[in-house]
Structure 1
Amino acid sequence: MDQTGAVHNVRALFISDVHLGMRAIRVTELIQFLERYEADTIYVVGDLIDGWRLQKEWYWPPEYDQLAQSFFDKANRGAKLVYLAGNHDEFLRDYLGTYFGGVEIVDRAIHTTADGKDYLVIHGDQFDVVVANAKWLAHIGDWAYNFALKINVVVNWVRRRLGLSYWSLSAWAKRKVKNAVSFMGRFEEALALEARNSKVEGVICGHIHQAAMHHKFGIHYLNSGDWVESCTAIIETHDGAFELIRWKDISAPRKRRRWRRRKDETADI
Structure 2
Amino acid sequence: MKKRKIELAVISDVHLGTYGCHADELIAYLNSIQPKKLVLNGDIIDIWQFKKRFFPASHLKVLKKVIGMASKGTEVYYITGNHDEMLRKFSDTSMGNFKISNKLVLNLDGKKAWIFHGDVFDVSIQNAKWLAKLGGYGYDMLILINSVVNWCLLKMGREKYSLSKRIKNSVKSAVKYINNFENVAAELAIENDYDYVICGHIHQPKKERFENKNGSTLYLNSGDWVENLTALEYSFKRWRIYHYNHDKLSPFFVDEDLKEMDMNDLIASITDKEVDAEDVPHFPEGVEEKPSTEKDHETL
Q: Do they fold alike, i.e. is TM over 0.5?
A: yes
| Distance in 2 separating the partners of 1:10 and 1:145 | 33
| Distance in 2 separating the partners of 1:6 and 1:181 | 40
* Residue 216 of structure 1, CA deviation: 3.6
- From 234, 239, 254, the counterpart of 2:232: 234
| Distance in 2 separating the partners of 1:139 and 1:71 | 27
| Distance in 2 separating the partners of 1:31 and 1:248 | 14
Q: Which has the higher helix share?
A: 1
Amino acid at match of 2:232: I
Q: Secondary structure at the match of 1:214?
A: strand
| Distance in 1 separating the partners of 2:96 and 2:21 | 25
Give structure 2 stretches of 5+ with no counterpart: 252-300
| Distance in 2 separating the partners of 1:16 and 1:243 | 15
Render the CA deviation track for 1:60-88: whole Å, top value 9, x for unaligned. Answer: 21112211111111112111000000000
1:267 matched residue in structure 2: none
- From 84, 87, 92, the counterpart of 1:97: 92
2:197 matched residue in structure 1: 203
TM-score in terms of structure 2 length: 0.79
Deviates more, 1:21-30 or 1:142-151: 142-151
| Distance in 1 separating the partners of 2:246 and 2:158 | 15
2:240 aligned with 1:246: no
- From 106, 123, 129, the counterpart of 2:123: 129
Amino acid at match of 1:32: A
Q: Secondary structure at the match of 2:183?
A: helix
- Equivalent residues of 1:72, 1:101 under 8 A apart: no
Structure 1 235/27 Cα, relative in aligned 2: closer, same or farther at 3 Å? Answer: same
- Equivalent residues of 1:214, 1:222 under 8 A apart: yes
Q: What is the number of equivalent residue pairs in this alignment?
A: 247
Within a 5 Å distance, the mapping from 1:208-223 to structure 2 comes to 208-217=202-211, 218-223=216-221
| Distance in 2 separating the partners of 1:120 and 1:20 | 25
Within a 5 Å distance, the mapping from 1:55-204 to structure 2 comes to 56-100=51-95, 102-114=97-109, 116-204=110-198
Could you tell me the percent identity over the aligned residues? 34
If asked which structure has higher relative contact order (CA below 8 Å, sep 6+), I would say 2
Render the CA deviation track for 1:207-228: whole Å, top value 9, x for unaligned. Answer: 0111000014542110000001
Amino acid at match of 2:94: Y
Q: Secondary structure at the match of 2:247?
A: helix
| Distance in 1 separating the partners of 2:248 and 2:134 | 34
* Residue 252 of structure 1, CA deviation: 8.2
Amino acid at match of 2:229: C
TM-score in terms of structure 1 length: 0.88
| Distance in 2 separating the partners of 1:76 and 1:185 | 39
Q: Secondary structure at the match of 1:33?
A: helix
Amino acid at match of 2:233: I
| Distance in 2 separating the partners of 1:219 and 1:236 | 16
Amino acid at match of 2:88: R
Q: Secondary structure at the match of 1:167?
A: coil
Q: Secondary structure at the match of 1:209?
A: coil
| Distance in 1 separating the partners of 2:173 and 2:34 | 39
| Distance in 2 separating the partners of 1:67 and 1:140 | 26
* Residue 143 of structure 1, CA deviation: 2.2
* Residue 193 of structure 1, CA deviation: 2.0
Q: Secondary structure at the match of 2:54?
A: coil
Amino acid at match of 1:36: S
| Distance in 1 separating the partners of 2:144 and 2:69 | 33
